[in-house]
């Protein structure tokens, strides 16, 4: 019998975790049908943590059957009030287990425990509380009087069986954004974590069961994207799929829907978000926000302000302050233990991502011959982990690959602009449209920017300060649909129109 649990010791917190390793189907952990497993590696040390079961296409079929049975026979008949009670019980369990959940995120993804992973869990608590209280408030239709003899009304109804695919940069936060919204709407779920970061979601499944959710309502199917992701995208008995990840893979998910049953698709894909700094901005605050907006989570954030445009009159002053704050607050040297309170910049997720970011840095230095600043000498030889120092390229031309392509690491490019029109032309010159930021004291200019920027999120005098109550999603190749806030429930509901003929004579 394959190993379905292991004991993980986290000595920094004196925590011992009974970690599930199996697929979670019908409220039970089980082995994969073909016995395949995936090794997961601690990116701060480069060492293998453990191996977990990798689902096959057959396992996906098994999970879909469980989810369909649960939806048709139990969950679709469960009142909104009762769904809210289940989510409230889940909320209490998350609060009780928040250190364990954060610790698993830290060892599996490299997130600094105190400054990053615990913040993620705090957001999940807030999000779950929000959806637990909104279950019976967001899924209401409307009544439409048509004439004296006829009326119509609409119903908001769940899709049924929903598949969700979450990325490795926010393993549990992204999963919760999707999962709790879909459950609040009344759907049953199959959810696939990333190959690199499956541990926290598998442990989270134990809380789902403890909260009393009926068997089959939530199913966790870890595995390879080429197998599990493809099976979810093409499955004929899945009614909707929600994906967060790269634009390339998002396109494949959309294509799979078109080639199968035209299941509804929500996509949150890549970004290359601009931050505009005008000469009237509070420069110290702008520098602080922008540094956090690119170096937090080691730059592995879809909304990271990785393109910074600064008005030419203050450009040199901004660059000087930006380098100073990067060195002062975001240096990685000496802080290679993500459980250390002084560690603010953890490793990137994997050796593959490390090499990819390193290639971009070398491209900027050698091929494009850009001016570069790093907070410490790179590569860092004192650690076996995948640490990359915050890196700033300045005077970067618009044609540079570093400016046009998503790097997904602690690497930022800074360029000049002359006036508002120039800034907007540069900011919108991208295939992405996930997020954006502007720093100015001019209220009119701020609202003009909000009007003119082609992006799903706009921050005025801040960056990457999201809230669970606010809709989130992208323009252009950054995605389709919205999650979080009321949209996080509505996204998982369909509208049904009902026509009622009052008169019996016609």
Measure the CA–CA gap between 343 and 383, rounded to whole angstroms.
Answer: 14
450-488 burial code (b ≥16 CB/10 A, e <16): eeebebbbbbbebbbeeebeebbbbbbbbbbbbbbbbbb
Q: What is the 8-class DSSP label of residue 346? A: -
Instruction: Indicate the angle between helix axes 315-329 and 283-295, nearest 10 degrees.
Output: 50
> What DSSP assignment string belongs to 221-251?
----IIIIIHHHHH-TT--EEEEES-HHHHH
Degrees, nearest 5: CA angle 178-482-295: 75
- Residue 266 in contact with residue 481, Cβ under 8 Å? yes
CA-to-CA dists, residue 256 to 235, 250, 474, angstroms? 9, 10, 21
Determine the 3-state secondary structure of 415 from DSSP. Answer: strand
Residue 273 burial class via C-beta count within 10 angstroms: exposed 0-12, middle 13-18, buried 19 and up: buried
Backbone phi, then psi, for 395, in 5-degree steps?
Answer: 55, 50
Who's near 43: CB < 8 A, 6+ residues apart?
109, 110, 346, 347, 348, 349, 350, 385, 386
Number of CB atoms found within 10 A of residue 323's CB: 19
Measure the CA–CA gap between 265 and 238, rounded to whole angstroms.
Answer: 11
| Host H or E run for residue 99 | helix 98-109
Measure the CA–CA gap between 4 and 101, rounded to whole angstroms.
Answer: 19
CA-to-CA dists, residue 297 to 24, 51, 451, angstroms? 28, 25, 29
Determine the 3-state secondary structure of 200 from DSSP. Answer: helix
Concerning whether 39 is annotated as a catalytic residue, the answer is no
Number of CB atoms found within 10 A of residue 195's CB: 20
**Per DSSP, what are the bridge partners of residue 17?**
8
| From 123, 195, 268, 406, active-site residue | 268
The set of catalytic residues is: 268
């Amino acid at each position: 019998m394959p190993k379905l649990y292991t004991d993980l010791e986290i000595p920094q917190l004196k925590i011992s975790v009974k970690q599930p390793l199996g697929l979670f189907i019908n409220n039970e952990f089980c082995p994969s049908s073909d016995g395949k497993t995936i090794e997961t590696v601690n990116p701060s040390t480069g060492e293998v943590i453990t191996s977990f079961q990798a689902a096959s296409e057959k396992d996906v079929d098994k999970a879909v059957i469980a989810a369909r049975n649960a939806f048709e026979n139990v969950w679709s008949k469960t009142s909104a009030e009762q769904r809210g009670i289940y989510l409230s019980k889940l909320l209490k369990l998350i609060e009780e287990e928040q250190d364990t959940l954060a610790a698993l995120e830290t060892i599996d993804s490299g997130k600094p425990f105190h400054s990053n992973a615990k913040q993620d869990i705090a957001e999940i608590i807030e999000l779950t509380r929000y959806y637990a209280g909104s279950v019976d408030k967001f899924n209401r239709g409307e009544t439409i009087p048509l004439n004296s003899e006829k009326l119509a009304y609409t119903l908001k109804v769940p899709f049924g069986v929903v598949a969700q695919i979450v990325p490795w940069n926010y393993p549990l936060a992204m999963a919760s954004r999707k999962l709790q919204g879909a459950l609040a709407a009344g759907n049953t779920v199959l959810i696939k974590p990333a190959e690199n970061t499956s541990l926290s979601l598998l442990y989270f499944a134990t809380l789902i069961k403890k909260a009393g959710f009926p068997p089959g309502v939530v199913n966790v199917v870890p595995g390879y994207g080429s197998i599990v992701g493809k099976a979810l995208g093409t499955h004929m008995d899945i009614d909707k799929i929600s994906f967060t990840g790269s634009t390339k893979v998002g396109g494949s998910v959309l294509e799979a829907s078109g080639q199968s049953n035209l299941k509804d698709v929500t996509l949150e894909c890549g970004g290359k978000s601009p931050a505009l700094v005008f000469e009237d901005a509070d420069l110290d605050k702008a520098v602080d926000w922008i540094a956090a907006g690119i170096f937090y989570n080691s730059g592995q954030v879809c909304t990271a302000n990785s393109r910074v445009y600064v008005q030419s009159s203050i450009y040199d002053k901004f660059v000087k302050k930006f380098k100073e704050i990067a060195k002062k607050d975001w240096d990685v040297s000496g802080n290679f233990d993500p459980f250390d309170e002084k560690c603010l910049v953890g490793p990137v997720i994997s050796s593959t991502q490390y090499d990819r970011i390193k290639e971009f840095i070398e491209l900027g230095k050698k091929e494009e011959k850009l001016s570069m600043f790093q907070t410490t000498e790179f590569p860092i030889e004192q650690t076996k982990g995948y640490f990359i120092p915050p890196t700033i390229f300045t005077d970067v031309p618009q044609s540079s690959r570093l400016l046009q392509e998503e790097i997904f690491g602690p690497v930022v490019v800074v360029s000049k602009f002359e006036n508002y029109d120039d800034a907007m032309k540069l900011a919108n010159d991208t295939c992405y449209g996930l997020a954006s930021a502007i720093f100015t004291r001019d209220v009119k200019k701020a609202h003009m920017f909000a009007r003119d920027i082609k992006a799903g999120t706009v921050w005025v005098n801040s960056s990457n300060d999201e809230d669970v109550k606010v809709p989130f999603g992208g323009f252009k190749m950054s995605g389709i649909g919205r999650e979080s806030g009321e949209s996080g429930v509505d996204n998982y509901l369909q509208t049904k129109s009902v026509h009622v003929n009052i008169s019996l004579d016609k």
